Each structure stands twice: as C-alpha cells, then as structure tokens.
C-alpha cells in the first residue's frame, strides 16, 4: 500500500491569517496521524508565510509516523533540517518568492550541488528525495546524486486527467519504471486529489508515498478531517 503523508501547510496559512494559534497546527498533526495518515509533510519557506521555523521544532516531538520536510536547500534550510533530523527531506528547486512548487530539478545542471547537499543529509542519517519531473534523463541522473528517492511532480497529470487520463498518466508510468531501474525509491505529489489519485496509484507501479496537502485540506472543509483522510487511504489501498 502506498503511504499517505499529509501536508499541513494550509493549516498554518489559516492560522497566520489571524495570528494566535487557531487552528492549532500541532493538534492537527496529531489528529492526522490518529486518523490514519502515515506521515506529516511541511514546507517551511524563508518568509514563513505558512510554516514557521519554530513550527518545525515544535512538530518534531509529536510526529511519530514519518516527518517529511520539503524546501529549497539554502544554508538556513540545511541547518534547520540537520538540527531537527526528520525521517525524510525533499529537495525542491523553488525560488524564495514561489507561491508553490511548480517545477522539478534539472539534475544534470545541478548535479554537483545536489551531490554536496545530499551528502550532508546522508551523513546524519536523513533519507533524501528530489522533486523531479518525468524527464527520463533527469531521473537517470538523479541516481548519480546519491539521493534515496525522487518525488514525481504530478501537476501536469492533474491538469490533463479530466480530458484523457491515459495520456495524462503515461509519462509517469515510464518515469516510475526508470526510477526503479535506477535503484530509486518513488514518491509523488502536487495536485493529487480524490478525483485523480486512485487511477494514478493503480497505474504508476512502485509508489512508496504520496504527499497531499491543498486538495486534502480543501476536502476536509466539506467532509471533515478524519473522514477525508480515510477517503484518501481507501484510494491507496
């Protein structure tokens, strides 16, 4: 069964809109795990517009499943991750001003940089994943960086899914095969939803984990958090 990691950035966005501590980010993280989520994902950005750096330290003691921290590997991000020691760090190529992750790494152009950063994390026992698109050369070269896994950037799949789901998923099927052939673990995330997740999970073989935030939190407004997590888990079973 593919594992579900819940990205709770949107909870922090709502909290920050009013100040104070409502909704309580730590309680939501505890509840997500209690309701069946097998991981908690966060993406602290330099401007702390949703997840704050202090949140990362506060969450560490209460995440007893898998703690996955996403982000661009700036010096401050690397220092934070090494101090907190999550089970997994996911490297994304976002500039600081990006609204959300919208592209994967060019692992050929940035091979030496990624090698250096990944070595730092591996030295302290943190599993590393690289956010990446379906370009097979990038996936093949990802293996040369020393990363443990890749995370497939799935927004193109989500956009094309309503028109033709078979065409939408085809590049991801090939990308997954390439990853496995090159000894890489396989994660996926970005715009996966109740509508498109089941088909993706059935067609893309070897998925270890999906990270879902925006769609899941939006669904929880209608269905409730516990019920929504259970709905997503059933799609992954």
| pLDDT tens readout for residues 191-203 | 999 999 999 999 9
Average pLDDT over residues 169-174: 98
Active-site residue 50, yes or no? no
Torsion, Cα of 143, 145, 9, 6 (10° steps): 30
Residue 95 has pLDDT above 80, yes or no: no
> What's the chain's average pLDDT?
96
Q: Which of 43, 50, 151, 209 is catalytic?
A: 43
Residue 99 has pLDDT above 60, yes or no: no
Q: What is the CATH number of domain 3-236?
A: 3.20.20.70
Active-site residue 140, yes or no? no
Where do we find the tokens 């935030």? 213
SS3 for 67?
strand
44: alpha, beta or left? (left if phi > 0; alpha if psi -120 to 50) = beta
Average pLDDT over residues 174-195: 98
Active-site residue 43, yes or no? yes
* Rounded Cα–Cα distance for residues 75 and 12 (Å): 23
Q: What is the crossing angle of helices 75-84 and 111-123, to 10°? A: 20
Q: Which of 66, 151, 190, 209 is catalytic?
A: 190
Instruction: Specify the pLDDT at position 103.
Output: 77
Bridge partners of residue 187, in order along the sequence:
151, 209
Residue 100 has pLDDT above 70, yes or no: no
Model confidence band, residue 230 (pLDDT cutoffs 50, 70, 90) = very high
Residue 5 has pLDDT above 60, yes or no: yes
> Residue 65 is encoded by which pair of tokens?
């499943």
Instruction: Specify the pLDDT at position 97.
Output: 63
Is 52:224 a contact under the CB 8 Å cutoff? no
The model's pTM is 0.95
Q: Nearest to residue 205, comparing CAs of 172, 182, 183, 168?
A: 172
Model confidence band, residue 119 (pLDDT cutoffs 50, 70, 90) = very high
Cα three-residue angle 30-214-167, rounded to 5 degrees:
130
Q: Which of 38, 66, 70, 209 is catalytic?
A: 70
Per-residue pLDDT of 45-90, as tens digits, reads: 989 999 999 999 999 999 999 999 999 999 999 999 999 999 999 9
* Rounded Cα–Cα distance for residues 209 and 5 (Å): 7
């Amino acid at each position: 069964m593919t594992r579900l990691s819940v990205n709770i950035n949107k909870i922090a966005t709502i909290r920050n809109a009013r100040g104070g501590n409502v909704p309580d980010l730590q309680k939501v993280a505890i509840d997500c795990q209690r309701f069946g989520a097998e991981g908690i994902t966060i993406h602290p950005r330099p401007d702390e517009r949703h997840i704050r750096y202090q949140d990362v330290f506060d969450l560490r003691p209460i995440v007893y499943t898998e703690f996955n921290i996403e982000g661009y590997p700036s010096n401050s991000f690397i220092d934070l991750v090494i101090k907190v020691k999550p089970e997994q760090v996911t490297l994304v190529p976002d500039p600081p001003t990006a609204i959300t992750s919208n592209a994967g790494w060019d692992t050929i152009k940035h091979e030496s940089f990624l090698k250096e950063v990944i070595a730092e994390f591996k030295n302290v026992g943190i599993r590393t994943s690289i956010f990446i698109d379906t370009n097979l050369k990038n996936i093949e070269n990802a293996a040369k960086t020393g990363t443990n896994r890749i995370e497939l950037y799935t927004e193109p799949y989500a956009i094309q899914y309503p028109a033709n789901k078979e065409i939408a998923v085809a590049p991801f099927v090939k990308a997954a095969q390439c990853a496995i052939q090159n000894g890489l673990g396989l994660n996926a995330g970005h715009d996966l939803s109740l509508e498109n997740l089941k088909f993706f999970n059935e067609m893309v073989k070897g998925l270890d984990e999906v990270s879902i935030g925006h769609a899941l939190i939006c669904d929880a407004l209608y269905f409730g958090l516990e019920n929504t997590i259970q709905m997503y888990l059933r799609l992954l079973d």
